[in-house]
Structure 1
Amino acid sequence: MKNSKIIDGRKWAKVHEEKLGEKIKKLKRVPRGENILIGNDPSSVLYTKIKENKAGELGIDFKTTRLPADDSSFESVVRYIIHQLNRPNGPDGIMIQLPIPEEFLQGRSEKELLKAIDPQKDIDGLTGKGPFPPAAVGAILSLLKDEGIEITGKKAVVVGASDLVGKPAALELEKLGAEVEICDSKTEDLKTKTLAADILVSATGVPGLIQGDMIKEGVVVIDVGAEKVKGKIVGDVEFESVYPKASKITPVPGGVGPMTVVTLMENLVQLTRGNSE
């Protein structure tokens, strides 16, 4: 029996993939994307493989340039992005796998490297200047829409104030007519704020931060967290205590994650359509 409470990211990802497959068939050429992977962080390597596999299934040419973290200069990677990837005959879309290792950044911020990407090729939406919000935010919006969840006039609380997810998620929800409040894991009266939410988005990376006594009955819960604890991937939300009170909830894994990968591919195909017209 299907559980109507669970927002099944894998199911919705498949629906989007089918539609995307039809769009790709109508293109004049194969979409081309490039991912830069610096270092060999196990999670980054895994996520890269997932993207490569998904692109392959969809018939997308998605290449990964792998660079050693300790033997690649910041300037050389910036030059590669600007002079090779940003060129009109370069790939349709570009992304850099985050997090970028500290030994490579040498005190610089990830933003400094991301801003080398031509915003019109930014499939991950992380330059803040391109046509798309961050892919994880796009995934959240897709899941809410697919589930028929009303946003206009609702109180949305976003826990996590990062530039990658929290802040842009708050901005997009506000554009859709929600009354939005943004806070983080260290907010003093966090429970008071989360109890007021009709829609709660948590993206802090703090496992089990959101407990059952912190939400009201009928809330929609979107869990963007994904951390490894005792060999298991867990989210920000303490699922067992939150699930009974939520009207809808994304599981971890299997919620926002699968949809984020498909959103990246949707963004790439959209840019390819623009380039081939």
Structure 2
Amino acid sequence: MSDQAQKPAPSLAALRAEIDRIDEAMHALLIERSEIIANLIKVKGTQESGSAFRPAREVSMMRKLVERHRGILPLDTVESIWRVIIATFTHVQAPYSVHADLTVGEAAMRDSARFHFGFTVPFVPHMGAGPAIAAVAASKGDLALVPAVSVAGAGAWWQSLEGETAPKIIARLPFVERPDHPASLPVFAISHPAADAVMAEVEVHSLRVSGWGAVAARTIAPLAEVIAEPDGAFDGAALLISVPKGQTLAAITDALVKAGATIRSTALVGSHATRYTLSGAHPVAAAR
């Protein structure tokens, strides 16, 4: 008879005692983490400016989380727990609010904000990207969440990010994308970026063009993600172009010119990490 066959199955009481032990250990680790954060606050003092949000570090943490996860606990739950821990401790270090553009729908945007930032971080609703960005511009470290998709009547809100001192796109959420994500609405996080916190795998540019039409749109669709709004003359457009890693803005503007468009202006308005998607059970970095 094998050792495994001889070993009695653990009792319910013993299993529950193990759960209690693990719960206590998890709580102790959170307390220990908070003590380290308290020391971090003392060390950092006033050395940093801009948003306390650190997208480069958070992307790294979330990717590692996905790669090491296993077992019956849904990834959604693990991701949500980690997001709340990260966002809450960030808020403890430097209090901030999340200003959300509700034009795409209150439920979807509120789900995204609560999934990624929890309930400790104040949620401030706005009807439009413009007011949300203006609130961030007037703050030291607040965030704005704006849909990363085309919304009818939204206007070219990204043009307010063009100035040197204007807020910038610093992240695209969710960090880990999948079809069944509980907060699947793609959103841009906008804030005053800290120089050492930028994740520049995907650059986001604001373009003004003339000669925009179906041909130009089809030409650059395979090269980059584009949100377009009418701008000026009947054939003018304001474009928000996310240039993926391995691609260049020059190649995209060259393609637009060959398609009959004229580039009137360009401006870098932010950057974010490459979209990280799940294909089946395996994490895969998306093309853009």
Which structure carries more relative contact order (alpha carbon 8 Å, separation 6+)? 1
TM-score bracket, normalised by the shorter chain, equals: 0.3 to 0.5
Bigger share in strand: 2
Could you say which structure has the larger radius of gyration?
2
TM-score if structure 1 supplies the norm length?
Answer: 0.33
TM-score if structure 2 supplies the norm length?
Answer: 0.32
